[in-house]
A and B are shown apart, each in its own frame.
Chain A
Amino acid sequence: MIPGKRRAAVMSFSAAIFGALLLQSVSSQNEPSITASEHTTLPVEGDMYMLQCNLTSYQNIHQESYWTKNGEEIPETRSPNRNTEYKLHKPRGDDAGVYMCVFTFDLSPSANATIEVKSAPEITGHKRSENRNEGQRALLYCKSVGYPHPAWTWRKFDNGIYREIDNSTGRFFVSSKDNYTELHIIDLDIGLDPGEYSCNATNMIGSREEKSVLRVRSHLAPLWPLLGVLAEIIILIVIIVVYEKRKKPEDLQDGESPVFYSSAVCDIYEEKLCSSSFEMDLLLCAVSLLLRNL
């Protein structure tokens, strides 16, 4: 090999390596960096809390930015600015969650920064009372807002304190997911199951609980009022009919209505009617005689 050619090869080889190293350092310089607000815990002072993201360094052309909450894009937050803000007005429990500001670029993948807004759980929905018949299934639920998602526990108020639910009969099923929990009780027992139940939501910030009352109705419960009403009705009808039968002979004697013939005369006519045999009317006649004497 000619000594000059070897030198050229080494030169170009080292230039290639140097170039590659340079490119790497340049590209690492070009990775975008974002400065974002601190993570926070609600409640905050003041009426408003601002989440901020600044895109401090980038290489490629920046397209736009938007915000997401808990993985879903918040509408109407897209803007072409490098500094982007999202205002939380009077932040409450349902404003808590994981917020992310996302910057999109023309030629390179998007960059994002995460801001966590934490709060203690607040129970927003639960059934205050549940009434079911025995043998049916009951459903008690609790809904909450807050971040991080709480751990749920169900307890029953027994003999003055709240205890863990005794599932020796295998009739209790708890299903919890994020901010929602359900307590299913199948084959309700009228002796064991009625009472106060409470759902407890606990996360690293704090905990809350709410009570629900479960009542179990027996199948025979409506029977007694029904029998009472039937007895009252029969008594009333008997009183009215007896009063009328006792008053009738007095009416005729008083001569209150002198124009009226006695019902016996009418019956004679009725019988004459029946004796003139018209096929279809015979049955009607008999029925009408029966009902007229009611």
Chain B
Amino acid sequence: MSPAPADPLEYKPLDGGWGWMVVIGAHISIGFAYATPKVLSIFFNEIQQDLGSSFSEIALISSIMLAAMYAGGPVSSAMVNRFGSRPIVMLGGLLCGVSMITASFGTSIIYLYFCIGVIGGCGLSLNLNASLIIISKYFLKRRPLANGLAMAGSPVFLCVLAPFNQYLLVNFGWRGSLLILGGLMLHCCVAGALMRPVPLPCKPPSYALEKTVEEQPNSGNTKLKKRFVKNAKKFLDFSLFKDRGFVIYLIGSIMFIFGAYAPIVFLSAYAKSQGVEEYSAAYLLSIMGFVDMFVRPGTGLIANSKLVRPRIQYFFSFALVFNGTCHLLCPLIKSYAFLVVYAVFFGIGFGMVFALIFECLMDLMGSQRFPRAVGLVTIIECFPMLLGPPAAGLLVDVYHDYKYLFLMCGSVILTGGLFLFVMNIYNYHMLDKERQKQVRASEVEMKLTPQAGTGQTEPEAKERNVALRDPENTETTD
């Protein structure tokens, strides 16, 4: 007798062994994904001189790349669901490498927009989502730690690539540097090779069952329309909005992303306006990145502990509140020493949030719904991410004072954190109620059909409950 279709965990995730190699692969993949749009700005000056365009036209390259990376989320998730992580990460790495290599031959800014921005951004989006999804498949008990280690790739690659790009620029010019950078991005293919597919027992795919059922009553147009709707649902699953926890998480993370990037963009300008010299101001960002590198795995470790794991959403909201408070206190700082302290705390807050941001989504959605959820989340996060820094820049232009920027970002993030905290109290309360209802229901069922109780740990029980709440478990996963 085949297992019940709603039973998701027929396998125990590895939680170790080859999983750590997968984490290394994800580390490389995520590192390139987040660091590349930022470090490309090192080349902008020379590209601007060579191609003769304005600074805002050049800066658009980074924005297009980031937008494509986030907007490609749903497509990437759908492809991973279909083909598995490994071919997608290899394809992503290939796209990125090809995009940089072809961009090095560019003669016009539009060509660069297309090569680096669109193609590169698509490659990075494939990398990012596939890496996150495979972590959710390989880990359960140690998942926060794995997430923290993988997300640490972003600051590590930023710290390594920034001076390296400068060295390449001096020695090879921007064209040669893009050529070599393209070659380096092919390391994402290596990362993909590490992502061995998780062997799953293949139940006769419910896909096939559904088809045989569908074949009989329908014909012609209605069949095509149903399949079209189903395919559209594969990309953007709006039924996720019915999930309370998902909506709460989404609102909180939108508020965070809106306020998160502007302080980074304007930190050195603010320091210079306070009278700090140029090199020391740039140094602040390196301090932040360096601290971030260690905070992410550390947060993963803390989030993995028995105390924090069951209430990880509270930890996430604490991280947001910490971040927001940090920004609100920044305008009070006048001296360089305190700016360094601010940079350290900013790094801590930023690292904490980013180590947890996808772990919390996995926690809420479970590994079955996570691919669809992450696709939806990334495409929605595209908007606050693109709107945040320009809105902050507008504040600076209007008031000629950086303190309003920090006040705005800090208050938005703080509000998001408090909102998450309060709503999660409500959410956990409702979840507990639902779990008690299910326990009572299964107790009744057990009384009718005596069966040995399954010994499950709490995360596994949670996965089961999360999946049971998801009626549309029709996809076969790899």
Contact = CB atoms under 8 A, between A and B. Distances in A.
Interface of A: 131-133, 217, 221-223, 225-226, 229-230, 233, 236-237, 240-241, 244, 257, 259-261, 263, 265-266, 269, 272-273, 276, 278, 280, 284, 288, 291-292, 294
Interface of B: 10-11, 82-84, 86-87, 90, 170-173, 175-177, 179-180, 182-184, 186-187, 189-190, 193-194, 196-197, 199-202, 204-205, 207-208, 211-212, 227, 478
Contacts of A276: 208, 211-212
Contact of A244 (B196, B202, B208): B196
B60 to A, nearest CB: 25
Contacts of B82: 284, 288
A288 B189 contact: no
Main secondary structure of the interface of B (DSSP, over half): helix
B172 A265 contact: no
A230 B186 CA distance: 8
B208 A259 contact: no
A102 to B, nearest CB: 38
A260 B190 contact: no
B83 A240 contact: no
A217 B173 contact: yes
A257 B172 contact: no
B186 A288 contact: no
A261 B201 CA distance: 6
A260 B201 contact: yes
Contacts of A269: 202, 204-205, 208
B202 A237 contact: no
Contacts, number: 87
Contact of A291 (B84, B177, B211): B84
B75 to A, nearest CB: 14
B466 to A, nearest CB: 21
B189 A237 contact: yes
Contact of B193 (A133, A240, A284): A240
Pick the 4 closest A-B CB pairs, nearest first: A222-B176, A266-B202, A229-B183, A240-B193
B186 A229 contact: yes
A37 to B, nearest CB: 38
Which interface residue of A226, A236, A273, A292 has the most chain B CB atoms within 10 A?
A226
A261 B202 CA distance: 7
Contacts of B212: 276
Given A261-B202, A272-B208, A230 B183 contact: yes
Contacts of A284: 82
Nearest to B201: A261
A154 B320 CA distance: 60
Nearest to B86: A294
Given A259-B10, A292-B84, A294-B86, A131 B179 contact: no
A259 B11 contact: yes
B83 A291 contact: yes
Contact of A131 (B170, B180, B211, B478): B170
A217 B189 contact: no
A219 B172 CA distance: 9
